[in-house]
Amino acid sequence: MQGTQSGTRGATASAAQDGARARLVLGNWKMHGSLNDNAALLTALRAGAGAATCEIGVCVPFPYLAQVEVLLKGSAVSWGAQDISVHDKGAYTGEVSGAMLNDFGCRWALAGHSERRAMHAESDVLVAEKAKAALAVGLTPVVCVGETLAEREGGNTLGVIERQLEPVLDLGAEALGRMVLAYEPVWAIGTGRTATPEQAQEVHSAIRVALRGLGVPQVRVLYGGSVKAANAATLFAMPDIDGALVGGASLVADEFLRIAAI
Binding site per annotation, positions for substrate: 28-30, 190, 226, 247-248
Q: Nearest to residue 189, comparing CAs of 140, 121, 117?
A: 117
CB of 37 to ligand PEP, least distance (A): 17
CB of 12 to ligand PEP, least distance (A): 32
Please tell me whether residue 58 binds ligand PEP under the rule CB under 6 A. no
CB of 110 to ligand PEP, least distance (A): 8
CB of 253 to ligand PEP, least distance (A): 15
24-53 footprint of ligand PEP as x/- string (CB under 6 A)? ----x-x-----------------------
Which residues are part of the catalytic machinery? 113, 184
Instruction: Name residue 197's amino acid.
Output: P
Please tell me whether residue 151 binds ligand PEP under the rule CB under 6 A. no
CB of 231 to ligand PEP, least distance (A): 10
Burial of 12 (0-12, 13-18, 19+ CB in 10 A): exposed
Give how many residues touch ligand PEP by CB under 6 A.
Answer: 14
Please tell me whether residue 247 binds ligand PEP under the rule CB under 6 A. yes
Segment lying near ligand PEP (by CB under 6 A), choices 66-74, 85-93, 169-177, 222-230: 222-230
| HEC string for the chain | CHHHHCCCCCCCCCHHHCCCCCCEEEEECCCCCCHHHHHHHHHHHHHHHHHCCCEEEEEECHHHHHHHHHHHCCCCEEEEECCCCCCCCCCCCCCCCHHHHHHCCCCEEEECCHHHHHHCCCCHHHHHHHHHHHHHCCCEEEEEECCCHHHHHCCCHHHHHHHHHHHHHCCCHHHHCCCEEEECCHHHCCCCCCCCHHHHHHHHHHHHHHHHHCCCCCCEEEEECCCCHHHHHHHHCCCCCCEEEECHHHHCHHHHHHHHCC
Instruction: Select the residue interacting with ligand PEP from 56, 111, 181, 189 (CB under 6 A).
Output: 189
Instruction: Select the residue interacting with ligand PEP from 195, 225, 241, 262 (CB under 6 A).
Output: 225
Instruction: Select the residue interacting with ligand PEP from 248, 253, 255, 257 (CB under 6 A).
Output: 248
Helix 65-72 with 35-48: angle, nearest 10 deg: 30
Nearer to ligand PEP, 2 or 231 (CB): 231
Nearer to ligand PEP, 80 or 213 (CB): 80
Segment lying near ligand PEP (by CB under 6 A), choices 32-40, 122-130, 209-217, 246-254: 246-254
Chain residues binding ligand PEP by CB under 6 A are 28, 30, 184, 189-190, 224-227, 245-249
